[in-house]
């Protein structure tokens, strides 16, 4: 073959290999061998980063929002917690949303419903209330309140000071699944009142259930787990049962009818770390949002250093990060936690390591 013919063949070959990918792209096809290791990594690589929002700073900004917009204009007056690893998305972890909501005396956040599940963890104030399908509960600091998917809910404040809580929702997860629906309650601002949450708590607590329990939905029939009860249980367990080396004393908010999580997509729990205890390292695939409730614990997240946690600070432990907690020597520490753990469990994807 002549030198000329030789180089012509080579040019044709390289041209063919470049245009091969272009011809694939035109067919909406791509070679797996370019990306296989990224698609199937050695271990999880969440995009969320460890991050803390300090109450001492956030509270001022939130109170300021009261002058920027009314609850009526905003529908919900919320500052969303945007994880710095998640590219401007309103996501606190890869799959979970968190936001701080303010409601001022006399305001009403009008009724609507959506297919996303929500929790409220109350941080400050008295006189706040929320209603789920017309059943009203007062909101006190430390209460864990459930808004089941597709239930009518509105909030209000009958007190004389600001009321603040942390909202937790499965918004990113539901968006990914393209399962988001919403509806406004057109008739009025509030859904008609049908009952009180104390009646609900009485009906379903203490491992004594109505014999004909018709409620068997995916979400707990209890929708306010009051802090006073939770705290008492933590105290009793700290005194009379073993303290877990990784978790301290940790209780999960359960659906009393099934023993499962209170919300189908979100796991919530409250833990007490006894004074003087430093836990052992723990990691799991779930991405976790944590709130300081009592004491002044320190948290160490491997690769991210040490965080000092004050009351109402919110911080993120991304999935597969090793972390541990110290209560310090002055008092016990109490922390509220929520994560996407039920989703991993239901799909057979949950994994953890201790130590
Ligand atoms: C929502 O409906 C509430 O009802 C709070 O208070 C936060 C964030 C995203 C989507 C819906 C509420 C929300 C939300």
d(CA 213, CA 216): 7
Pairing of strands 153-157, 128-132: antiparallel
**Could you report the per-residue pLDDT of 181-233, keeping only the tens digit for each?**
999 999 999 999 998 888 888 888 888 888 887 677 899 999 999 999 999 99
Q: Indicate the top mutation candidate among 137, 150, 169 to test ligand 1's pocket, ranked by most ligand atoms within 8 A of CB.
A: 169
User: Ligand 1 within 6 A of 203 CB?
Assistant: no
Pocket test for ligand 1, best of 62, 107, 118 (most atoms within 8 A of CB): 118
Does any ligand 1 atom lie closer than 6 A to the CB of residue 317? no
Ligand 1: does its nearest atom lie under 6 Å from the Cβ of 153?
Answer: yes
| Ligand 1 nearest atom to the CA of residue 76, by list position | 6
Q: What is the mean pLDDT of the chain?
A: 94
Encode pLDDT of 20-50 as tens digits: 999 999 999 999 999 998 899 999 999 999 9
Q: Measured at the alpha carbon of residue 49, what is the angle toward residues 43 and 55, in degrees to the nearest 5?
A: 145
* pLDDT tens by residue, 287-309: 999 999 999 999 999 989 999 99
Q: Which atom of ligand 1 is nearest to the CA of 130?
A: 6
- 77-80 own/partner pairs: CB under 8 Å, 24+ apart: 77/101, 77/102, 77/103, 77/109, 78/102, 78/167
CB-ligand 1 contact for 78 (6 Å cutoff): yes
Q: What is the CATH number of domain 51-354?
A: 2.60.120.10
Question: What b/e readout covers 1-17, taking b as 16+ CB neighbours within 10 angstroms?
Answer: eeeeeeeeeeeeeeeee
Residue ranges per structural domain of the chain: 51-354
Integer Cα distance of 187 and 119 in angstroms:
25
Q: Quick check: CB of 335 below 6 Å from ligand 1?
A: no
Arithmetic mean of pLDDT, 133-140: 97
């Amino acid at each position: 073959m002549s030198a000329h013919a030789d180089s012509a063949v080579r040019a044709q070959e390289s041209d063919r290999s470049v245009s091969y990918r272009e011809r694939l792209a035109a067919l909406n096809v791509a070679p797996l061998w370019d990306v296989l290791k990224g698609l199937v990594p050695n271990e999880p690589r969440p995009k969320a980063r460890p991050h803390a929002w300090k109450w001492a700073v956030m509270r001022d900004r939130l109170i300021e929002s009261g002058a920027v917009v009314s609850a009526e204009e905003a529908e919900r007056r919320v500052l969303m917690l945007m994880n710095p690893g998640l590219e401007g998305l309103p996501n606190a972890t890869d799959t979970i949303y968190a936001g701080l909501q303010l409601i001022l005396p006399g305001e009403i956040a009008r009724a609507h419903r959506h297919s996303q599940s929500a929790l409220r963890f109350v941080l400050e104030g008295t006189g706040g209330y929320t209603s789920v399908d017309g059943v009203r509960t007062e909101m006190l600091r430390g209460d864990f309140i459930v808004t089941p998917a597709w239930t009518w809910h509105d909030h209000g404040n009958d007190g004389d000071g600001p009321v603040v809580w942390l909202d937790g929702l499965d918004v990113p997860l539901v968006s990914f699944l393209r399962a988001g629906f919403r509806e406004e309650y057109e008739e009025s601002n509030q859904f008609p009142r049908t009952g009180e949450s104390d009646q609900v708590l009485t009906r379903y607590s203490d491992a004594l259930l109505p014999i004909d329990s018709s409620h068997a939905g995916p979400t707990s029939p209890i929708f306010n787990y009051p802090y006073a009860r939770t705290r008492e249980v933590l105290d009793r367990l700290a005194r009379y049962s073993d303290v877990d080396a990784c978790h301290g004393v940790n209780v999960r908010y359960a659906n009393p009818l099934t023993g499962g999580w209170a919300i189908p997509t979100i796991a919530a729990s409250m833990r007490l770390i006894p004074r003087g205890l430093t836990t052992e390292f723990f990691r799991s695939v779930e991405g976790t949002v944590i709130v300081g409730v009592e004491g002044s614990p320190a948290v160490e997240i491997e690769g991210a250093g040490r965080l000092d946690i004050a009351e109402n600070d919110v911080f993120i432990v991304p999935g597969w990060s090793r972390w541990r907690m110290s209560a310090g020597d002055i008092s016990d520490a109490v922390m509220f936690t929520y994560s996407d753990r039920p989703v991993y469990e239901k799909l057979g994807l949950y994994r953890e390591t201790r130590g």
